Structure 1
Amino acid sequence: MAELFPTSRQAALERLRCFAPKAGRAYASGRNTDVGPGNPTAVSMLSPYLRRRMITEREAIEEVLKHHSPEAAEKFIQEVFWRTYWKGWLEMRPAVWDHYLTEREAALADPPADYQAAIEGRTGIEGFNDWAQELVQSGWLHNHARMWFASIWIFTLKLPWALGADFFYRHLLDADPASNTLSWRWVAGLHTKGKTYLARADNIEKYTNGRFRPRDLAPFAEPLIEAFETPAPLPPRDAQTRVPDGPYVLLLTEDDLHPESWPGFETNPPQEVIVLNPSPQEASLNSGTIASQFSKDALQNAITRIDRPVTFCEQTASGLTQTMSGRTADRLVIPYQLSGPSAPSLNRSLVKLEAAGITVHELKRSWDDHVWPHATAGFFKLKKKIPKLMAQAGLTH
Structure 2
Amino acid sequence: MTFEPTREAGLARLAEFVPRAGRAYAAERNTDRGPGDRSNVSTLSPWVRHRLVTEREVVEAVLQRHSLDAAGKFVQEVYWRTYWKGWLELRPSVWARYSASVAPALDSLSAADRATYDDAIAGRTGIEGFDDWARELVELGYLHNHARMWFASIWIFTLRLPWQLGADFFLRHLLDGDPASNTLSWRWVAGLQTVGKTYLATTQNIEFATEGRFSPRGLAESAPAVDDDGPIPAPGPAPRPEPLPRGRVGLLLHEDDLHSESLELAGLEVVAVASPTAGEPRSPAADPANALVAGFTAAALADGRARAGAHFGADASALDRLTASAIRDWASSYDLTAIVTPYGPVGPVRDRLDQLERELSDDLTLTRILRPWDALAWPHATRGFFPFREKIPALLREQQIGP
Give your verdict on TM over 0.5: yes
Q: Does 1:73 align with 2:71?
A: yes
CA distance, structure 1, for counterparts of residue 242 and residue 7 of structure 2: 25
Q: Does 1:89 align with 2:87?
A: yes
Residue 346 of structure 2 corresponds to 339
One-letter amino acid of the counterpart of residue 378, structure 2:
W
Residue 256 of structure 1 corresponds to 257
One-letter amino acid of the counterpart of residue 209, structure 1:
E
Q: Is the 8 A contact 1:313 1:320 kept in 2?
A: no
Q: Is the 8 A contact 1:52 1:254 kept in 2?
A: yes
1:317–1:309 CA distance, 2 compared to 1 (3 A): closer
One-letter amino acid of the counterpart of residue 195, structure 2:
K
Residue 312 of structure 2 corresponds to none
TM-score by length of 1: 0.94
Alignment of 1:40-189 (within 5 A): 40-111=38-109, 112=113, 113-189=115-191
Summarize deviations over 1:110-154 as a string: whole Å, max 9, x none.
332300000001101000000000000000100000000000000
Alignment of 1:233-244 (within 5 A): 233-240=235-242, 244=245
1:387–1:279 CA distance, 2 compared to 1 (3 A): closer
Q: Is the 8 A contact 1:318 1:349 kept in 2?
A: no
2:206 to 201, 204, 207: 204
Residue 365 of structure 1 corresponds to 371
CA distance, structure 1, for counterparts of residue 99 and residue 129 of structure 2: 28
**By how many angstroms is 1:197 displaced?**
0.6
Residue 276 of structure 1 corresponds to 276
CA distance, structure 2, for counterparts of residue 105 and residue 322 of structure 1: 34
Residue 225 of structure 1 corresponds to 227
**By how many angstroms is 1:312 displaced?**
0.6
**By how many angstroms is 1:177 displaced?**
0.6
**By how many angstroms is 1:281 displaced?**
4.3
Q: Is the 8 A contact 1:120 1:132 kept in 2?
A: yes
CA distance, structure 1, for counterparts of residue 278 and residue 303 of structure 2: 17
CA distance, structure 2, for counterparts of residue 226 and residue 81 of structure 1: 28
Q: Is the 8 A contact 2:250 2:271 kept in 1?
A: yes
1:226–1:333 CA distance, 2 compared to 1 (3 A): same
**By how many angstroms is 1:109 displaced?**
1.8
1:194 to 196, 201, 224: 196
Q: Is the 8 A contact 2:275 2:305 kept in 1?
A: no
1:254–1:269 CA distance, 2 compared to 1 (3 A): farther
**By how many angstroms is 1:358 displaced?**
0.8
CA distance, structure 2, for counterparts of residue 279 and residue 293 of structure 1: 9
Residue 402 of structure 2 corresponds to 396
Q: Is the 8 A contact 1:168 1:180 kept in 2?
A: yes
TM-align CA RMSD: 1.9
1:39 to 33, 37, 40: 37
One-letter amino acid of the counterpart of residue 275, structure 1:
S
Structure 1 gap ranges (5+): none
Residue 23 of structure 1 corresponds to 21
Summarize deviations over 1:323-344 as a string: whole Å, max 9, x none.
3235322110011122112333
1:377 to 380, 383, 386: 383
**By how many angstroms is 1:316 displaced?**
3.4
Q: Does 1:301 align with 2:303?
A: yes
Q: Is the 8 A contact 2:123 2:131 kept in 1?
A: yes
CA distance, structure 2, for counterparts of residue 6 and residue 282 of structure 1: 21
**By how many angstroms is 1:66 displaced?**
1.4
SS of the counterpart of 1:26? helix
Q: Is the 8 A contact 1:278 1:315 kept in 2?
A: no
Higher mean C-alpha displacement, 299-308 vs 317-326: 317-326
Higher mean C-alpha displacement, 272-281 vs 207-216: 272-281
Identity of aligned residues (%): 49
TM-score by length of 2: 0.92
1:17–1:102 CA distance, 2 compared to 1 (3 A): same
**By how many angstroms is 1:46 displaced?**
0.4
CA distance, structure 2, for counterparts of residue 84 and residue 377 of structure 1: 13
**By how many angstroms is 1:315 displaced?**
3.2
**By how many angstroms is 1:354 displaced?**
4.2
